[in-house]
Structure 1
Amino acid sequence: MNSATVRNLLVRGMLAGLGAGVLALVVAYFLGEPLVDKAIGFEEVQAHAHGGHEHEVELVSRSLQSTAGLATGVLLYGVAFGGIAALAYCFALGRVGRFTPRATALLLSGCALLAVYVVPFLKYPANPPAVGNGDTIGKRTTLYVLMMALSVLLAVAATLLGKRLAPALGTWYATVVAVAAFALVIGVAFAFLPVVNEVPADFPATVLWRFRLSALAMQVTLWAGFGLLFGELAERLLNPRPATAAENRSAAVPG
Structure 2
Amino acid sequence: MVRTFVVRGLLLGLLAGLIAGGFAFAFGEPQVDAAIALEEAADGHSHGHGSEAEVSRPVQKAGLFLATGLYGVAVGGIFALVFAGLRGRVGPRSDGLLALAAAGTAFVAVILVPFLKYPANPPAVGDPETIDSRTFLYVVMVLVGLAAAAIAVATSRRVHAGPWPRWLASVVAFLLPVVAAWVLLPTVDEVPDGFPGTLLWEFRLASIGTQLVFWAAFGALFGWACDRAAQRGAAPVGAAAPG
What is the TM-score normalised by the length of structure 2? 0.92
Q: Displacement of 1:223 after TM fit?
A: 0.4
Q: Displacement of 1:183 after TM fit?
A: 1.2
Is residue 236 from structure 1 mapped to residue 232 from structure 2 by the alignment?
no
Q: Displacement of 1:238 after TM fit?
A: 3.5
Instruction: Check whether the contact 2:22–2:65 (CA below 8 A) recurs between aligned residues.
Output: no
Aligned to 1:187: 179
Instruction: Check whether the contact 2:20–2:68 (CA below 8 A) recurs between aligned residues.
Output: yes
Aligned to 1:65: 60
The aligned length equals 236
Give a deviation string over 1:151-173, Cα, whole Å, max 9, x none: 111111111011112x2x22320
Kindly provide the amino acid, as one letter, of the partner of residue 146 in structure 2.
V
Aligned to 1:11: 7
Q: The residue matched to 1:202 in structure 2 has which SS?
A: coil
Is residue 103 from structure 1 mapped to residue 100 from structure 2 by the alignment?
no
User: Larger relative CO (CA 8 A, sep 6+): 1 or 2?
Assistant: 1
Question: Over aligned residues, Cα RMSD in angstroms?
Answer: 1.7
Partner Cα separation in structure 2 for residue 175 and residue 223 of structure 1: 22
Aligned to 1:38: 34
Q: The residue matched to 1:242 in structure 2 has which SS?
A: helix
Partner Cα separation in structure 1 for residue 163 and residue 122 of structure 2: 42
Aligned to 1:224: 216
Partner Cα separation in structure 2 for residue 211 and residue 97 of structure 1: 34
Aligned to 1:204: 196
Q: Which 5+ residue runs of structure 1 have no aligned equivalent?
A: 249-255
Q: Displacement of 1:229 after TM fit?
A: 0.7
Q: The residue matched to 2:102 in structure 1 has which SS?
A: helix
Percent of pairs identical after alignment? 44
Partner Cα separation in structure 1 for residue 91 and residue 65 of structure 2: 37
Question: Is the alpha carbon distance of 1:188 and 1:208 closer, same or farther for their aligned partners in structure 2, counting shifts above 3 Å?
Answer: same
Q: The residue matched to 1:203 in structure 2 has which SS?
A: coil
Aligned to 1:253: none
Instruction: Check whether the contact 2:21–2:65 (CA below 8 A) recurs between aligned residues.
Output: yes
Is residue 26 from structure 1 mapped to residue 22 from structure 2 by the alignment?
yes
Question: Is the alpha carbon distance of 1:173 and 1:42 closer, same or farther for their aligned partners in structure 2, counting shifts above 3 Å?
Answer: same
Aligned to 2:139: 145
Larger Rg computed on CA atoms: 1
Q: Displacement of 1:42 after TM fit?
A: 0.6
User: Which residue of the other structure, out of 155, 161, 169, is the alignment partner of 2:149?
Assistant: 155
Give a deviation string over 1:13-54, Cα, whole Å, max 9, x none: 111101101110110100000100000001001112xxxx47
Q: The residue matched to 1:194 in structure 2 has which SS?
A: coil
Worse overlay, 221-230 or 55-64:
55-64
User: Which residue of the other structure, out of 84, 103, 108, is the alignment partner of 1:90?
Assistant: 84
Kindly provide the amino acid, as one letter, of the partner of residue 44 in structure 1.
E
Q: The residue matched to 1:130 in structure 2 has which SS?
A: coil
